[in-house]
Each structure stands twice: as C-alpha cells, then as structure tokens.
Structure 1
Amino acid sequence: MGFDNKLGNFLKHEIDAINLHLPKKRVSLSLANKGYHIYVSKDNSQLHLDEKEIEKLLEICPEEKHNEVFLPFLIIRRRDLGQGTYVISGELIDQFMILKVLEKYDGTWVDFIEKPVPKHSTFLYKPDLINLRKALPTSTVIGFA
C-alpha cells in the first residue's frame, strides 16, 4: 500500500470520526408529524426533534412530500468550494425547504420544480448557517466532507 493510499485511508477515518454526530437513519416529516421525534446518530446517541420546528416545516412542505422529507436536514461543509461554503444534501425538496426557511426563495414547490434555482443559489455561507441553526436547531445537522 502506497503513501497516498495510507494517507487517503487515514483522512477517511478522521472524517468519519468527526461525523459521528450524523444520523444513522433519518425520520420522515410524516413520521415526525405522528409523534416520532427521535433519531439515532452514528455514535448511538438519541437526538430529539423539536415539535415547533416540525410544525414550521409542515407549513412549508407540500403535503404530498411529507414522506419524502427526512429530518434532520444534512448540511455539508465543502472546503473544496471555498472557505465557509456549505451545501444542502439531499433532494430538490430538501433544497426548497431550506431556502424557504431562510427566506431565500418565495415561490411555491411547483414553481421550484418547474424552474429550479441556479446551483450556486443552493450554496450556504456562514450567515445563512447561523440563521438556519437559529430557525431549526434540532432539525439540521452539519457534516464535513
């Protein structure tokens, strides 16, 4: 095994170690609405979703998408995109939901899928992250890539 492979394996191990707080399995918004407010992280911690946050998300999310939105939302720090740059991990509905919470998009879900926002509009920066964590402290989690 060469130096590059050893270094790559070491870095992967380190990134995995700092991401132990990420969920093993996320909870659908539909299940959260039925009272299932707990998810388990990779280090087996039980973490709770706040009911007020769930209610806020239910107001934003189209009803037909409740089974497709999974909590917590994953926000990934991407150093390769520049200092302090984060991306919304997941599907278009996840991007829609986060941008609505941040008030960076004011259209409907139908508008969003018919004319998606440019890719760079889904990048989040430190001020966005601060606002997002204030609005959804239990329904978002930050990961590192």
Structure 2
Amino acid sequence: MKSDHLSNIWRREIDKINDHLPRNYKTLESLLSSKNPYVITLDGDQIPFDRKELEFLAEIVPKKYHGSLQLPIVFIRRIEMGEGVYSISGGKIEKGVIMKLLGVTENPFSDDENNFPPYIYRHQVLEIRRKIRSLTTIGFATTKTNLKDSVFKDRIV
C-alpha cells in the first residue's frame, strides 16, 4: 500500500517536470504550411518550430511521410537505465528520422523498425539537437509501469 502511494507521488512529480512537453503533436506537412508553426505544451505554453529546420527535415524525409511524421520528436530520458540513456517517443517514422540523422541507416523508411536500436545515448541526442533543436525536446521517465498513466501513455516505446 505504501509503495502504491509513493509510486503515485513519484509519477506526479515526473509529470510536473514534463509540463514542457507537447499536449499534442502536428505533422511536418501541417507545420510547413503554417505561417507560425508551433504546438502547445501541457502547461499551455508554445513550442515554436524553426522554419529552416522544418525545411531541412522536409528535404531528408520522403514527401509521402510528411503527413505522418509527428513533431516535436521527444527523447525520453530513461532514469532507471542509468546516466545518458534515452528512448525515442513515437513510431517508425520518428525513429527513422533519428536513425537517418545519426547515419545509422541509409534508408530508414524502408527498414524494419525492429532493426533500430531500442535506445540512444546522450552524445547522439546532442548530435540530433545540434541539427534540429526546435523540432525535438526531452522528457523524463522512470519505468513503463510509472508511465502507463502519465503524459506518455499513448507514446510509450
């Protein structure tokens, strides 16, 4: 019983530090057509997207995926796995973009998602953020158990 109570407190604290994460996601296609591309955060602020970064992404992602790629891409800091371990929130297209930017694969959009590494590391996150900083953000998580009722419930990797 005490464990459940502590788990609930821990989950609420993690959710609080994740208030900067997007409330919803927008596709690359819709952001490119927007005069002022942004999404709203969980706490009601805006995450603005840099137009040059959107155009850069549009060049490396096949056009047929522009309507499916959800932004921003969230790197989830996996606290329970040790220092500097992250997972990529989202699906095959979001993971494929990251693999392409890291040079892990030439054609990630035709690769099987199961061929992608399950985690990436701090130096890789920094490399990606140097290229598309405004299109990415970092969230924090402890375990999938703790995430099942959190803001990531629909995007757990």
TM-score by length of 1: 0.89
| Structure 1 residues 28 and 139, CA gap change in structure 2 (3 angstroms) | same
Q: Which residue of 2 aligns with 1:90?
A: 90
The residue that corresponds to 1:133 in the other structure is 129
Distance 1:40 1:105 in 2: 32
Give the gaps of 5 or more residues in structure 2: 142-157
For 1:26, the equivalent position in structure 2 comes to: 25
Q: Which residue number corresponds to residue 71 of structure 1?
A: 71
Matches within 5 A, 1:29-40: 29-35=28-34, 36-40=36-40
**Following the alignment from structure 1 to structure 2, what is the Cα–Cα distance between the partners of residues 18 and 33?**
29
Amino acid at match of 1:84: G
Distance 2:137 2:37 in 1: 15
Q: Which residue of 1 aligns with 2:115?
A: 118
* Gap change, CA 1:9 and 1:44, over 3 Å in 2: same
- For residues 41 and 55 of structure 1, the distance between their equivalents in structure 2, rounded to whole angstroms, comes to 22
Please name the residue that 1:48 is paired with: 48
Q: What is the RMSD computed on CA atoms of the aligned residues? A: 1.5
- Segments of 4+ in structure 1 off by > 4 A? none
Q: 1:53 to 1:109 in 2, by over 3 A?
A: same
Task: Render the CA deviation track for 1:112-145: whole Å, top value 9, x for unaligned.
Answer: 14xx4635x2421111011111111110010111
CA distance in 2, matches of 1:122, 1:9: 27
In 1, distance between residues paired with 2:50 and 2:71? Answer: 11
**In structure 2, distance between residues paired with 1:102 and 1:32:** 23
Q: Which amino acid aligns with 2:48?
A: H
Look up the match of 1:14: 13
Structure 1 CA distance for aligned equivalents of residues 108 and 8 of structure 2: 44
Question: Which segments of 5 or more consecutive residues in structure 1 lack a partner in the other structure?
Answer: none
Cα distance between partner residues in 1 of 2:68 and 2:24: 13
Is the 2:97–2:108 Cα contact (8 Å) retained in structure 1?
Answer: no
- The aligned amino acid for 1:123 is Y
CA offset at residue 15 of structure 1?
Answer: 0.4
